[in-house]
Amino acid sequence: MATLELHEVCKRFGATMVLTPTSLQVADGEFVVLVGPSGCGKSTLLRMIAGLESPSGGEIRIGGRCVNAQEPSARDIAMVFQNYALYPHMSVFDNLSYALKLRKLEKAEIARRVDWAAELLGLQPLLARKPAELSGGQRQRVAMGRAIVREPQLFLFDEPLSNLDARLRNHMRVEIKQLHRRLGTTTVYVTHDQVEAMTLAQRMVVMNHGRIEQVGTPEEVYAQPASTFVAGFLGAPPMNLLAARVSAEGTHVLVEDLAPLPLSAPQPALAGRAVTLGLRPEALLPDVDGCWTVTLNLIESLGGEMLLHAGVGKQACVLRIATTTSPWREGDTLRVNVASTALHLFDADSGQRLPS
Amino acid sequence: MKRQWLRRSVLLLLALLLALPLYAALIAASHAPGDLLGRLPWLPGNRLLHNLHTVLDAGLPGSPSVLRMLGNSLVMALGIALGKLTLATLSAYAVVYFRFPLRRTAFVLILSSLMLPLEVRFYPTFQVSAGLHLLNSYGVLIVPLIASATATFLLRQFFASMPPSLLDAARMDGAGPLQFFLHSALPLARTPLAALFVLEFVYGWNQYLWPLLTTTDARYATVVMGMQGLINAGTSFALPRWDLVMTTALLALLPPLLVLLLAQRWFIRGLTDIEK
């Protein structure tokens, strides 16, 4: 078990900057998720931690030791790959024990560790099989087993669930979380899936265009997104982003064709400024005395809740209502209320969060 | 139903056409030389075992025993096939997995040598072999022929099609380049290797011109090249020994056929699904 520190780590491929200098501290035993759209540099960062790519600058420390010059196998880490990367010609037992054999561990010790991992992951009946004879979920488990038999200081997961179907993905997600609880090993997990990120992370790192947008607990990141990118990336459906303007007195926010919404506290510094107004779909509540009138364009039922796609003025937004039957029909107009504490303001140009 | 019969009869006809020379050889090999004078009997005779015995033991007068020639051919074909596989596997592995200056150029050079027919380089190769005093040895039968652009190319494609994460996983597990080669790349390549072995074995077995040029000593005669000498020797008697020549021809046919039959399953798999 160990801490992981990244200090101004960056990566260039030729002239393109894939990862701008990035610093991050991961505490001992922490589960950190790197999340972002494809091409945001999260996988590159993980591969540099693993030692499969070398950084163009900066320092990577594992357990306080700089590992920049070390081979992957010398870093005392283990990695689970997206396509599992099991050795197709080896049995499950051989897959699990390969790294231990290369380290010249004693036979008895190898057997003990493989047994332990197989027991933990329910792989015992499969030890003699080849990867081709396993289902997707079983392969995933073998890949995790291969990582844990090494009893590493640090686990790296590279989109481990994206090759599984939705049901299995939910199941394995829970298993990974339980595994982390039992082993308590420091973990860095890369995914593009915001649900995985929200549910697994103790702390999440949202990345975009080769840099970190925000670091925080899932609750913090959800409640206080640092930019319109984070706001639009997390949550399903994501936060509604409307073009708006702060009133000349700095007390209200104005969306075209709609009634002004009061800010929870006056913001004189923002007076008259063009902003992006962020509203979570659950922040718009139907209310006969509501201040806004919206037009329903489309209703989607998810069983326990409904998504209402509505027109607000000239713009569009989505409402999430916890109800099983809809009293409204498409084409109806509806009055909604917006709590002033639910407003998020972002700079219209840079997308950075503003006080509201 | 009717179409199927038509198709089958065409296939049957072609198969018969292909088998006809073999049948003729079998008939000739199973008769006494006198029966073959100016005609070919319709049915096989009873001298096949006797003829086999004669050629394998003694050969024709004036040429080495066919057993010796078969042995020479086997050494040459195995040497060429194994040599080609070794060299091609190693160079394909290097081209795919190592970053070194002029890597692409090296591969393009190997590939472009595909265009050159073997015969083009016979003269310089002969010069070099003669200069190294290799003529009349097993070495000269094998070594100049073990470079293979085709095999290198096929194996390169195979290695390049393996998922790159496999190498990543092996590096994480602590396998070095040699260990990855021996534990992963080589075992995974066994299907294409088996297919290539069959191809190259037959290629080696059928070498004619090169052994003819480089070995003058009868001790190194191979069966395919020796056949020509046999025909000369066999027809120079008052009574042409076509029976013995054809027996030898049948014997020369057997080993490549056996290799092909034994490895057929691997052969087809190796050529059709290079992926996996």
How far apart are the C-alpha atoms of A340 and A262, rounded to whole Å?
A: 6
* Nearest CB partner across the interface for A72, out of B165, B166, B171: B171
Distant-in-sequence, close-in-space partners of A324: CB < 8 Å, separation ≥ 6: A301, A303, A304
Calculate mean pLDDT across residues A181-204.
93
Output the pLDDT for position B113. 83
Output the pLDDT for position B244. 84
Q: Which of A333, A327, A329 is nearest to A312 (CA)?
A: A333
Calculate mean pLDDT across residues A7-29.
92
Mean pLDDT score of chain B, rounded to an integer? 87
Query: A52 and chain B: CB distance < 8 Å anywhere?
Result: yes
How sure is the predictor about B45, in pLDDT bands with cuts at 50, 70 and 90? Answer: confident
Helix or strand (DSSP H, E) at A123: none
Are A228 and A238 in contact, with CB atoms under 8 Å apart? no
* Nearest CB partner across the interface for A85, out of B169, B183, B188: B169
Output the pLDDT for position B276. 41
* C-alpha distance from residue A286 to each of A333, B137, B245 (Å): 11, 96, 101
How sure is the predictor about B272, in pLDDT bands with cuts at 50, 70 and 90? Answer: low
CB contacts of A73 in chain B (<8 Å) are: 171-175
How far apart are the C-alpha atoms of B8 and A14, rounded to whole Å?
A: 62
How sure is the predictor about B274, in pLDDT bands with cuts at 50, 70 and 90? Answer: very low
Q: pLDDT tens-digit profile of B52-111?
A: 888 888 777 667 788 889 999 999 999 999 999 999 999 999 999 998 899 889 889 988
How far apart are the C-alpha atoms of B81 and B89, rounded to whole Å?
A: 12
**Do B187 and A89 make contact, defined as CB atoms within 8 angstroms?**
yes
How far apart are the C-alpha atoms of B89 and B154, rounded to whole Å?
A: 9
**Do B165 and A88 make contact, defined as CB atoms within 8 angstroms?**
no
**Do A77 and B172 make contact, defined as CB atoms within 8 angstroms?**
yes
How sure is the predictor about A10, in pLDDT bands with cuts at 50, 70 and 90? Answer: very high
Q: What are phi and psi of B164, to 5 degrees?
A: -60, -25
Q: pLDDT tens-digit profile of B256-267?
A: 989 888 888 777
Residue A86 CB burial class (10 angstroms; 0-12, 13-18, ≥19): buried
Six-digit token string for B207: 């070498």
Q: pLDDT tens-digit profile of B160-183?
A: 999 999 999 999 999 999 999 999
Q: pLDDT tens-digit profile of B183-230?
A: 999 999 988 898 899 989 999 999 988 998 888 888 888 888 888 777
Query: A102 and chain B: CB distance < 8 Å anywhere?
Result: yes
Min Cα distance B172 → chain A (Å) is 5
Output the pLDDT for position A309. 94
How sure is the predictor about A144, in pLDDT bands with cuts at 50, 70 and 90? Answer: very high
**Do B168 and A52 make contact, defined as CB atoms within 8 angstroms?**
yes
Q: What angle do CA A101, A105, A106 make, to 5 degrees?
A: 110
Residue A249 CB burial class (10 angstroms; 0-12, 13-18, ≥19): exposed
Are A81 and A142 in contact, with CB atoms under 8 Å apart? no
Strand residues in A41-81 grouped as ranges (E): 57-62, 65-66, 77-80
Output the pLDDT for position B271. 64
Output the pLDDT for position B275. 42
How far apart are the C-alpha atoms of B32 and A207, rounded to whole Å?
A: 88
Q: Is the pLDDT of residue A163 over 90?
A: no
Six-digit token string for A120: 């933990």
CB contacts of B173 in chain A (<8 Å) are: 73, 98-99, 102, 146
Question: CA nearest A148 in B: which residue?
Answer: B173
Calculate mean pLDDT across residues A81-109.
93
Question: CA nearest B167 in A: which residue?
Answer: A85
Question: CA nearest A143 in B: which residue?
Answer: B169
Q: Which of B117, B137, B266, B132 is nearest to B191 (CA)?
A: B266
Output the pLDDT for position A1. 64
Q: Which of A327, A323, A331 is nearest to A296 (CA)?
A: A331
Residue with more model confidence, B249 or A324: B249
Six-digit token string for B170: 């092996």
Residue with more model confidence, B34 or A265: A265
Question: In terms of residues, how long is chain A?
Answer: 356
Are A92 and A122 in contact, with CB atoms under 8 Å apart? no
Are A295 and A333 in contact, with CB atoms under 8 Å apart? yes
Mean pLDDT score of chain A, rounded to an integer? 91
CB contacts of A86 in chain B (<8 Å) are: 169
Q: What are phi and psi of A246, to 5 degrees?
A: -85, 140
Are A299 and A332 in contact, with CB atoms under 8 Å apart? no
* Number of other residues whose CB lies within 10 A of the CB of residue A155: 23
Output the pLDDT for position A245. 92
